[in-house]
Structure 1
Amino acid sequence: MEFRDGPIDGIIWKSLRFFKDHRGWLVELFRHDELDAQWHPVMAYVSMTEPGVARGPHEHVDQADYFCFYGPSNFKVYLWDNRPSSPTYGNREIRLVGADDPYALVVPPGVVHAYKNAGDVQGIVLNAANRLYKGWGKTEPVDEIRHEEHADSIYKLI
């Protein structure tokens, strides 16, 4: 399969706004009143990614991810629409977000995703997924299809 560049149906991009004063800054990452209930988080985690390092590509069958890229580095975000029933099936979307252009985004199930720290400092990413990792009590299989483990993967980070 060859992907074409274009927006992906169901991806929600939300610009993040910093409120700064003499103490530092504050940024709202999530509000229930700004996001459809199906995407509301049930758990959250923060990850640190070294410069030049990528996470993904992978996808989920049922889980949606709510990523927040706000710094201190920039990240190149890669999305591939792998949902045959989607009107944008076969589209690829790539954006540079983070310190210079802070964004949150919802990645629905079936959309393959990856991100790479494109800066020269460690980068922090928050993810607030709408499903529990490994289910309640961590007793279920992980909802993840890992494409990064295959050298011949069609999902290439460029």
Structure 2
Amino acid sequence: MEGLQIKQVLLYRDQRGWLGEISREDESELKPAMSYLSMTRPGLVRGPHEHREQTDCFCFVGKFRLYFWDNRESSPTYREKKIIDTTDSATVAVVPPGIVHAYKNIGIVDGLVINLPDRLYKGWGKTEPVD
């Protein structure tokens, strides 16, 4: 799907646990405006929704099923659908504007999601409409 980026996060493990890089300025043009963390219980879904202007950079930690469909009429992948199952590791999904997205926790434990969108939720001071 044009513009959709999916990558496994390389986890550096030691006796304390692990560390993984979600985004690096020298590897991505993404410029996050904010970040947030959410938890999704097993079997539950968030979405679907789409943004007209915002690019999302999600990091999924846990087992998730990711759903995408291209709603951009000018895109060569218009109306294409994609479903991706993540592993117990960490997976990054960069979702450009116009791609409808949703996700479901398909694991047996709570799953974590970090998002680094390039727009502020409800704009500066939370005074604008939601994109």
**C-alpha RMSD over aligned residues:** 1.0
- C-alpha distance after superposition, 1:85-107 (max 9, x if no partner): 0000010010011415x310110
* Residues 1:96 and 2:82 aligned together: no
> In structure 2, which of residues 94, 112, 127 is the aligned counterpart of residue 106 of structure 1?
94
Q: Which has the larger radius of gyration?
A: 1
Secondary structure in structure 1 of the residue aligned to 2:86:
strand
**Corresponding letter in the other structure for 1:41:** P
Counterparts of 2:87 and 2:129, CA distance in 1: 31
Aligned to 1:26: 19
- Give the alignment partner of residue 40 of structure 1, picking from 13, 31, 39: 31
> Which residue does the alignment assign to 2:76?
87
Q: TM-score, normalised by structure 2?
A: 0.96
Shift of 1:14: 2.0
- Deviation track 1:107-147 (CA, whole Å, cap 9, x = no partner) reads 0000000000001111000001000000011110001xxxx
Structure 2 equivalent of residue 151 of structure 1: none
Contact kept in structure 2, 1:79 and 1:113, CA below 8 Å: yes
When normalised by structure 1's length, the TM-score is 0.80
Q: Which amino acid is 2:6 matched to? A: W
Which stretches of structure 1, 4 residues or more, deviate above 4 A after TM superposition?
none
Q: Which runs of 5+ in 2 are unaligned?
A: none
Count of aligned positions: 131
One-letter amino acid matched to 2:85: L
Aligned to 1:11: 4
Partners of 2:31 and 2:87 lie apart in 1 by 22
Equivalent residue letter for 1:111: I
| Unaligned stretches of 5+ residues in structure 1 | 1-7, 144-158
User: What is the percent sequence identity of the aligned residues?
Assistant: 55
